[in-house]
Amino acid sequence: MGLARASVVVAFVVVFFAHSAWPAGLFSSMASVRSDLMAFSRGSTRTVTVTRPELKKVTPVVHPVRPKVTSTSDRKLKVVTMIFPMVVGPVGPKGSRGRPGGGGGWGSRPRPRPPPAPKTKLVYVNQKKTFPSRTTPSNKFLEALNTIERAIAEANAAAKSGVGLHYSAAKLTAIRDKIKLAVDKRGFPVGRALLGKALWLIKHNSTPRRGKRAAQVDASTYMSELKASMGPAKFDEFMAVHGDVTLMFAIDTTGSMSAEIETAKKIAVDVINYPRNNPVNYILSPFSDPGASKFLPVASMHCNTFVKFILIYLAFASDTGPLIFRDLSQGAKFVDDINKLRAKGGGDCAELAFKGILDALMEGPDWGSPMYVFTDAPPKDATPDNIQSVKAMAEYLGVTINFFTTGMCNQAGSNAISLPSPDRFKEIAEATSGQLLTLKSVSELQQLDALTGSVLGGSNIISAGSNFVNRKKRSPQNGSYRFKVDDSVEQMSVCITTSGTNKNGIELQDPTGITITSGKTSLSKVSVYQVKNPKAGAWTLVVPSIAGHHEYFVKSTSDTNIDFEHYFLFEMTSRKRGKIERAELPLSYSLKGRSIKLVITVAGADKVNRETVTLELINKQGGHVRDVPLRSVDAAGVRYLAIFTPPSTSYKLKLKGSTKTGRDFERVSRNIVEPKSMLLRILDSVTDFTISPGRRTSIMFQMFSAAPSRKTIKVSVIDKKKIGSVSRSTRTITPGRSIFIPISFLAPRGTPVGETNTAVVTVTVEGTGERVSQAVQLIVM
């Protein structure tokens, strides 16, 4: 069916325009939808009974010491002593001598035991937690709107591409039922994609009798019916009204990690008890080494064929999980889950870290959530496909990934192997605006609990940079960085990581020149500042050359401050029944050498003077690349648009301007934009992203080449349930043309209705190594 549908769409040919015409119709629809959805930004008051963990020091009960029962030889010695007291003398158990009745002698009182040391015990406290209706929309709610608006743009592009999207009341009812089912199982990405499709159908209903006002009422009514069908609490969670967020821990559980696991438990307790107004749920993803503890000892033996088979099985068996999700009422159970982890196994150092990370991402965290990876070993599964899949999933979900490493293990001896580099962790952290924190000891790890807890309120990047100009070995230079803090920032964190252990001389100065000392945590290679209600103005960070190579992040951890999201629109044409149709395809990346539109949506627009907003492209080190003209396309200052030909190297976006009170602000995009020569997108899902148990379902993807020559590509798919497949993994593609790639999913009979399956489709260009991915979430129905 998917191939038949694709045959309607003739091969795409790119047509370049002067871009004099702004996509007024599309933006008009988005503005209308935003107006409809903003009516639901207040949410409902929700009261939940939560189980909160506490670590209490308790003194163990001291039991009285009973006299030791003597052995047969001791009893015989006692008789001899009674008969010949002057020869043998008083003898206690096991031949010890002493005075009669004295310490250590036979018949003496047992010596008192020293008082036991206090121990830490995990206890649980039940309490009521109330989330009141909001007076202002949370940034997470506005991010949900951005996702829905992008889904509207995708539906618009699909319709222009020849995919049939027809309005009917039955169609809208069916989509509503699918959204409800998805939300029941926390399938928020697929739910928001379907909602965008439904709202596009409503806004583009071509029934002549319906005017604009009627269409707007229809959208509002549709949302009200959706809320009534799933209940206020679920609807608010779906729309992230209260700023819902997920705390994700991916923890290495090999034998060397006992102390780190205990510290992760303590961090989790502090994070859960951190005062905040937004709901938090939890994901725990343990990972370790596949059978290494059994593999290494047996490998040194003379093995028969059977044992060799066992070794091969152990070497490649997946050793991750069990994956655990806990809702906001189960914070204490999350801590208990960590408490039950046991460090065991290991042997060849490197672990399945990327499998643990992917497992957590595919479990369905809330958009914009943080992940913390605890390990003391580099990854053994940092394959190009796994690296690309993690990047794609993190971008799809807006996740920031941070790594806490307590020293990388070493492999010594004759059985030493070539270890993978921890630079793969650095690559992931860099791509997601996270950080790789190299810690000297477990005690340093425990000191970072405040940093972990504060970002759950929502974080955005004010400034970031480093002195890694290139990878050549040269002496690091002094770093002096100035950044602007505006009056919308309620709390600010500054984190500096260094290659050297000498951190003396790192200074943070406020706009008046005062050096900040309170709220600072100094570790061997990490320095962290936590500043509440920072003064508005220009701040200065100084990192001396003696600290070595370094990087820094300045993040705002407020719930409703200024932030922005973005996506690109690439204009293509198709011929449909002899008529040329123009379609603007929403993308997360730009295309090399191609002019493209950039759409920016601003959260906290009511605080911004829209006449002052400008855009700058910066490199990964924070250096200036070039300025890009930016234009506001609505009166509210929510949406801005730029048209430009981007650089062919990686870059970030930096939005600058002034607040309505005259204070300068700066914000940096979360993800690095990596320009591609290939475009990959979802063209059509005939079943609206649903799969039926026992039946094969196909999702049609479109691949367009912006490369200068003919290319051979390889297609692969990684999905949560391992039910995805591609029929033709190797294809060729011509410059300026498209091919269509069906990806099939076959859920086994008996798969529970409502379960979600998240997949990442990756295309690799042979010869260049370039990879482009597209994530998609499906629901069993």
Name the DSSP letter for residue 676. Answer: B
Helix (H) or strand (E) holding 617: strand 608-618
What does the pLDDT look like over 482-529, one tens digit per residue? 999 999 999 999 999 998 876 678 999 999 999 999 989 999 999 999
Domain spans of the chain, in order of start: 27-52+128-207+217-239, 246-291+307-409+422-457, 460-469+476-561, 564-653, 677-780
Beta-carbon contacts of residue 296 (< 8 Å; ≥ 6 apart): 347, 348, 415
E strand residue ranges, 427-525? 436-438, 460-466, 479-485, 491-498, 507-509, 520-522
Q: What is the SS3 string spanning 347-415?
A: CCCCECHHHHHHHHHHCCCCCCCEEEEEECCCECCCCHHHHHHHHHHHHHHCCEEEEEECCCCCCCCCC
What pLDDT is stored for residue 86 in this prediction? 46
Q: Looking at the domain 677-780, which fold is it?
A: Immunoglobulin-like (2.60.40)
CATH assignment, 460-469+476-561: 2.60.120.380
Selection from 111, 97, 100 nearest residue 68 by Cα: 111
Residues 154-206 pLDDT 10s:
998 888 877 777 888 899 999 999 999 999 999 999 999 999 999 999 988 75
What is residue 703's predicted lDDT score, i.e. its pLDDT? 96
Confidence (pLDDT) at 108: 54
**pLDDT given at position 748:** 95
pLDDT the model gives residue 576? 67
Domain 564-653 and domain 677-780 have a common topology: yes
DSSP string, 95-134: G-B--TTSTTSTTPPPPPPPPPPPEEEEEEEEEEEEEPPP
**Backbone phi, psi, residue 442, to 5°:** -65, -35
Is the alpha carbon torsion for 25, 27, 30, 35 positive or negative?
negative
Distance from C-alpha of 507 to C-alpha of 593, rounded to nearest angstrom: 42
Per-residue pLDDT at 7: 40
3-state secondary structure of 273: coil
User: Based on the number of CB atoms within 10 Å of its own CB, is 121 exposed (0-12), middle (13-18) or buried (19 or more)?
Assistant: exposed
Dig out the tokens for 333 from the structure: 């159970």
Name the CATH code of domain 564-653 (choices 2.30.30, 2.60.40, 3.40.5, 2.20.110). 2.60.40
Q: What pLDDT, on a 0 to 100 scale, did the predictor assign at position 94?
A: 45
Query: What's the CATH class of domain 246-291+307-409+422-457?
Result: alpha beta
Q: What is the pTM of this model?
A: 0.85
- By C-alpha distance, which of 330, 326, 446, 434 is closest to 373? 434
Q: Quick one: 479 exposed, middle or buried, by C-beta within 10 A (0-12, 13-18, 19+)? A: buried
Give the residue ranges of the chain where pLDDT is below 70.
Answer: 1-25, 61-113, 206-217, 290-319, 346-348, 408-422, 455-458, 469-477, 502-503, 575-577
Exposed / middle / buried, residue 520 (Cβ in 10 Å: 0-12, 13-18, 19+):
middle
pLDDT reported for residue 309 = 33
Q: What is the pLDDT of residue 447?
A: 87
In this predicted structure, what is the pLDDT of residue 169?
A: 87
Backbone angles phi, psi at 18, to 5 degrees: -75, -10
Kindly state the helix (H) or strand (E) to which residue 626 belongs, with its residue range.
strand 624-628
